[in-house]
Structure 1
């Protein structure tokens, strides 16, 4: 096939590093029909309501035709105020804690760490702003009811007939105008009559302003001895078409209207993690005035255009069956019993919808529940758990073409690098910066929750990897220059903090844990030294800092120092039953079903374990994952989808997707890991990371770019015999569309933004102009392969033997801005 001169339409809104878009001609057409969640009954529970969000403002819409609830969030409304949670006593106790660990006195070490390392302040909860309540007059029964979330337009719509009148309500959260807007219409003149009020679980003041505004104000809660200091205000203005407005002290009433539009503005006094001197009234009023002057139609048009510039970049078609005509909650119940590939597509795109809706430039990163929480103290405070959950939120951001949504995460990591310098110095006597397993809007970096869970000084190490990962997709040198001090600071901490363990002379992190798990050994403590995940993270921090410094041409002396330390890190080890060891010692129990699979970080999201470079480690990782089992919490199943995709087992990955897309609410009312009726992930309760993790896993099944090449359909399950995907991104500035039939790639279209060699890996032969058999290492600098030490195999374990499909590898010289078409070679 000839290289195409004109740009092809799979990149309908092409983004690379600068956030601009480019319209292009049609090529592989992908149907996006039926991208909606819909239901034939109102929501009764919060996990049945439908989410809208603009990154800062969120709402959950219940769709009740009689007593509607719209639950509201503003993403800076947290308990407390600026504070720190460091415990300087840790520095004096550090040597003793390490001595106890190296002597095998783990319980004593854990008790000492509990006493000396933890301040007792464990983080401030994210809090709901409150509820807008709409009470519709009239007790007539309803018919023809439906409610839906349109993923293509980011609008929730409720429709029903009542008393011979058809009603429709639309709800959206606008990023351009920074308001939530509700428009209610009736098809009979003067038929619209309702009252509106507001409330919240905690203390608040509510008043009306004339006959058209509700104003709710308050202050965030005190928590763990930190006084609440976030002042908030919500203003709801109602504009009607015909009809009358009236007010009481805490209620607005609409009678005889044809249409009513409710403009909801929310703001707090939060300026940044150190400053709460803002004027929430001024902010909320300014957004409200601008929005009401603009009007609903203009807000709607701008909202859809703004949202679609991101959402429309990626399309996925796995086929459709009659199941698409059923309500979404019924499809979840029936998914494991029938054929509904479009539900996988819907779930994949719902994850992208949630990321666009909960993480926008200028705002806060998505927390444990995105931006949607209906309590003052939600589960785990709905803050940032950075030993997996926050990172998982952003796994789909690059591969599914939503790189701008990373900006709040990059900003948070930059701020943690500032606060974490004091923690590194005061608690550990180290340079650089450190963060532990949890943080909040105030960017705390000291450990929380006690030694068993919280003595893990690796949060900064993991978060900093995401910064470099973003660079690898776009190749933006100016961006790399801006984040390099953060990477360097993370590396500096471990240069100081690593300590030599006595048995092998390896440099290890101590004290630490393998997140939230404990070894099945002769002690009950979790604290240890040299856990496999820690070693893998330090390896990544060091190697990526060196690579960044090389690209920027800086810090030659530090590069040499890091490379010397790299030689002293422990290798990954294979234990007595063929498993990848989770700890430095062979403590793993094959019956351990723990939800965290931390030692498999090296397989995903990192790329230290490869079937081609180190098959022994690859097989050991598989053995560990098999032993852990499939059943787990929702987010853990999402991680396992990615892991099975990296293990090139599409059928097992689809089995985990099927487990994820099972009802989280059991017939007896109990909850389990899976999916709620509104497609929210269930830990339980709701955690948004499972949604993001599964979207990432689906993308990884179709495209990978981490192991020296762009791997086409690396983990395609047998059930997805035909399909199309467009807009997925690969490292090195490539964007791809793929069409397959009978589980084989038929057509691949590649857009190159940066130029350079494009190495393509496929399980089937390919052909195309300029395509040649691959030779030697990939010359593209974005496809360097990590130099991992040879694994240690304990106990003379015998491996099961690795069986992989045949692979074909090709090189394609590309030029910046050009598009290339490749087809299956059927000779």
Structure 2
């Protein structure tokens, strides 16, 4: 039966090798109504809007990336340092609950638990007489980053095109009619802020406001939004709070927004001056010119990667219908659309010079959003940027990297005052003011690895770009992250390893600890410290500096605990073998070593590889949205494409499904629930990992191809060391075309599912030993300690070919494939 199904899928899946732009649209036959998660997101990294597409009463819900509550503040707990020895003693003695109680008093902040990302407000448009409409259609064209709504009233077709311009820092909507003098509407602002004022000044509709005070932090953040309308025919009139357009042929709405925010420690800007400057600059240009500049500015990023996993007739249906059907039909193009939608969201919410994408990217309609819509750095904020380098959006990593640089400054005082340590650190959460204290209670917040994890993104950017000047710039940050652990690690009294105490495995607690999450030497902490030390060592050696520091880090690294394989054949989450195989917690943090780290490998650490798979099986598939996104990456790293695809199916399930957890909203936003954007980004990363991986010493092609994608094509992916997959085509799960560009030169080690051919221009060498390319240098993982009760099998892996090819900087290589 299974074999027949595969044959059927092969027959119905038609691969068109040119990416069809008509398919890169989310489209619907009905308006959003009052449901925010039905609206369509647009953004340019600085401004964001949700376009509802409602007919008589349209709403543009507006966001600006620096509109946050509060102001510059610190949230360290001054009692921490004095209480630290007692907390450690309680954990050594097994009194985890008492340690947690003391940490709640002495470690967790008594000030702000993080400020909130807040909306600006709504631009409300009213169209009198448009209640009875027909032939309705709305779309989000993610190839052009333009939302469009069309409908018909009394024989007149109305069109609204909306985009957040990548040319000028404005949001624009052009409203047109198929017959002259038929565009009439009124516009006004609404806002949930208590301190705001909407008025008409000249011909501008202006909303001024101040964000919320929050958790003893007084707001110092002012915002201003300005709307101006350019008419083609017709007449503009106004009241004290609204603008009205009458009998125009077309009208273009310009929206500018700004705040007084300059930096996390500087709010001396002028919101009004900024907003007016952006508006005046944009208003001088025609809509056609603005649209052209916008598309070009956006496609500079988006067009770098093209993907086609096959096409069926399902792609001709509305997006919400495709979402409902996805688990019961073959719709590979839906995966291509969802993949590119993740890239669209990152381009739209993260631009150089702007703020990093937060828990909701740049889109939020609530004064008090879930989890404050801030930066949760025990997984979610990092996951947002997993696609950045490998899906050819390296520049878009910059806002996150800038946030890490700023945390490395604010986190120095936290390290010193709370833990008596040098260097810098952050706990599990931060915000636009770069707070680094511990929040939310010790169960969640007593985690010291936030700085260590985010600092890995700096190293990743170097690995992909080879930018040595960047490495020189950020080396002190890598060194500072390591210095914190040099001072913070303590010797385990029983086995004498150096461990983090107190630490925890984020948001999970073993029953053996009476429901407390606090422990010493948990697996994830050990893995992160290993990475922090290793990256500081590697960076110092590349830059030829700090030799004695390097030696000391190597000595300390050797004293870190090895990973443990427990009695259930699982990778242990804690040092003690107390994992419960029935535990299906959404956080599986001890698999950090499998992904995003590379400490666990099919080829280098087979026992740990198998134990990781067992842990993942125990935890199950059903989970919250971001967790399913992480699981796609894990199953891809485990080279199990069918299981990874199963998680994609779980992800692309309508929210409110019978599973009762996770899924996707109609606008393809990830549902935690509620909405968190990390699941979108995590799944885009996971699909990439299914098609190409480069973290384990080689560029591995088609490592986790599911049966439902037997043929396909992708271009533009980036690998470590500056290699670009210019074009990769496969049929029947085998490569049929491969073109690779080497941007940096050096050895290209390729792992392929089928054999390549020698040619006069390309010398293929059978690869063995370590990859001589320094970007592919791997830090040796210690042998695991394996329980006497465990019985670990050897991994069952597909047969692959492994080649070394010498490349020159700028060289493009077209490989020949053996039939």
TM-score band w.r.t. shorter chain: over 0.9
Question: For the residues of structure 2 that align with 1:139 and 1:272, how far apart are their CA atoms?
Answer: 45
> 1:592 Cα shift?
0.6
Aligned mate of 1:759, from 743, 749, 764: 749
Q: Which residue of the other structure, out of 512, 516, 527, is the alignment partner of 1:525?
A: 516
139-148 vs 257-266, which moves further: 139-148
Task: Give the structure 2 partner of residue 68 of structure 1.
Answer: 58
1:576-610 deviation per Cα after TM superposition (whole angstroms, max 9, x unaligned): 11000001111110001100110000000000001
2:784 is aligned with 1:795? no
Give SS of 1:674's match: coil
Which residue, 303, 311, 324 being the options, matches 1:312? 303
Q: Where does residue 13 of structure 2 map in the other structure?
A: none
Match of 2:811 among 804, 818, 822: 818
SS across alignment from 2:338 = helix
Out of 81, 91, 100, the residue aligned to residue 101 of structure 1 is: 91
Q: Distance in 1 between matches of 2:755 and 2:17?
A: 20
| CA RMSD across the alignment | 1.3
2:177 to 186, 200, 218: 186
CA shift digits 1:292-324 (9 cap, x unpaired): 112322111111101001000000000111111
Conservation of the 8 A alpha-carbon contact between 1:211 and 1:252: no
Matches within 5 A, 1:552-631: 552-631=543-622
CA distance in 2, matches of 1:428, 1:207: 48
1:171–1:183 contact (8 Å) kept in structure 2: yes
Match runs of 1:671-820 below 5 Å: 672-736=661-725, 737-768=727-758, 769-820=762-813
Partner of 1:492: 483
For 1:522 and 1:484, the matched residues in 2 are separated by: 39
Deviations 1:47-79 (A, max 9, x none): 000000000100000001110011000010011
Residue pair 2:260, 2:270 contacting (<8 A) in 1 also: yes
Would you say the 8 A contact 2:17–2:712 is kept in 1?
no
Aligned twin of 2:443: 452
* 3-state secondary structure, aligned to 2:645: helix
Tell me the distance in 2 between the aligned counterparts of 1:158 and 1:30.
Answer: 24
Aligned counterpart, 1:7 = none
C-alpha separation in 1, matches of 2:61 and 2:17:
40
Give the 3 Å change call, closer, same or farther, for CA 210–469 of structure 1 in structure 2. closer
Distance in 2 between the 1:272 and 1:424 partners? 22
Structure 1 residues 189 and 31, CA gap change in structure 2 (3 angstroms)? closer
Distance 1:815 1:119 in 2: 53
Which residue in 2 is equivalent to 1:15? none
CA displacement at 1:497 relative to structure 2: 0.4
Q: Secondary structure at the match of 1:617?
A: helix
Alignment of 1:423-502 (within 5 A): 423-502=414-493
User: For 2:747 and 2:581, how far apart are their aligned partners in 1?
Assistant: 43
Match of 2:631 in 1: 640
Count of matched residue positions in the alignment of Structure 1 and Structure 2: 798
Cα deviation, residue 520, structure 1 = 2.3
Question: How many Å separate the matches in 2 of 1:34 and 1:661?
Answer: 17
Counterpart residue number, 1:82: 72
> Which residue in 1 is equivalent to 2:408?
417
Which among 37, 40, 56 is matched to residue 29 of structure 2? 40
TM-score (norm 2): 0.96
Cα 1:430–1:792 shift into 2, 3 Å: same
Whole-Å separation in 1 of the counterparts to 2:776 and 2:345: 30
CA distance in structure 1 between the aligned counterparts of 2:625 and 2:198, rounded to whole angstroms:
41
CA distance in 2, matches of 1:738, 1:642: 20
- How far, CA to CA, are the matches of 1:143 and 1:800 in structure 2? 62
C-alpha distance in 1, partners of 2:192/2:131?
30
- Equivalent in 338, 363, 383 of residue 392 of structure 1: 383
Aligned to 2:189, which of 198, 204, 207?
A: 198
Q: Describe how 1:83-162 pairs up with structure 2 within 5 A.
A: 83-120=73-110, 121-162=112-153
Query: For 1:721 and 1:527, how far apart are their aligned partners in 2?
Result: 46
Q: Comparing 790-799 with 213-222, which one deviates more in the overlay?
A: 790-799
Cross-structure match for 2:333: 342
Secondary structure of the structure 2 residue equivalent to 1:294: coil
SS of the equivalent of 2:741 reads strand
1:696 & 1:711 partners in 2: Cα distance? 15
The answer to whether the 8 A contact 2:387-2:682 is kept is yes
1:55 aligns with 2:45: yes
Deviates more, 1:696-705 or 1:813-822: 813-822
Give deviations 1:498-555, integer Å, cap 9, x for gaps. Answer: 0001111000011111000001215221111111000000000000111011111111
Determine the structure 1 residue equivalent to 2:7: none
1:666 Cα shift? 4.0
| Shift in Å, 1:701 | 0.3
Q: Within 2, Cα distance between the matches of 1:700 and 1:50?
A: 27
Determine if contact 1:66/1:136 at 8 Å carries over to the other structure.
Answer: yes
**Cα distance per residue 1:768-807 (max 9 Å; x no partner):** 4311211322110111122011000123310133211112
Q: Quick one: distance in 1 between partners of 2:513 and 2:233?
A: 76
CA contact (8 A) 2:200 2:242 kept: no
- 8 Å CA contact retained: 1:168, 1:185: yes
Tell me, in whole angstroms, the C-alpha distance in 1 between the residues paired with 2:494 and 2:737.
54
Q: Is the 8 A contact 2:200 2:239 kept in 1?
A: no
Equivalents in 1 of 2:480, 2:392: separation in Å? 28
User: Contact (CA 8 Å) 1:604, 1:643: kept in 2 or not?
Assistant: yes
Residue-by-residue CA offset, 1:435-472 (whole Å, 9 max, x unaligned): 00000000000101010000001000000001101110
CA distance in structure 1 between the aligned counterparts of 2:511 and 2:580, rounded to whole angstroms: 6
Deviation of the 1:119 alpha carbon: 2.1
- Between the aligned partners of 1:605 and 1:237, the Cα distance in structure 2 is 46
Aligned to 1:293: 284
Residues 395-442 of structure 1 deviation map (CA, whole Å, 9 limit, x = unaligned)? 000110000001101110000000000000000000000000000000
DSSP 3-state at the match of 1:452: helix
DSSP 3-state at the match of 1:675: coil
Aligned to 2:527: 536
Q: Equivalents in 2 of 1:586, 1:161: separation in Å?
A: 66
The alpha carbon displacement at 1:278 in A equals: 0.8
- SS of the residue corresponding to residue 58 of structure 1 reads strand
CA shift in 2, pair 1:520/1:207, >3 Å: closer
Distance 1:335 1:688 in 2: 20
Match of 1:262 among 253, 256, 266: 253
Find the aligned partners of 1:411 and 1:207 in 2 and give their Cα distance. Answer: 34
The secondary structure found in structure 2 opposite 1:534 is helix
Separation of aligned partners in 1, 2:300 and 2:194: 40
**Alignment partners' CA distance in 2, 1:507 and 1:344:** 44
Q: 1 CA distance for matches of 2:151 and 2:203?
A: 26
CA distance in structure 1 between the aligned counterparts of 2:146 and 2:451, rounded to whole angstroms: 36
Residue equivalent to 2:319:
328
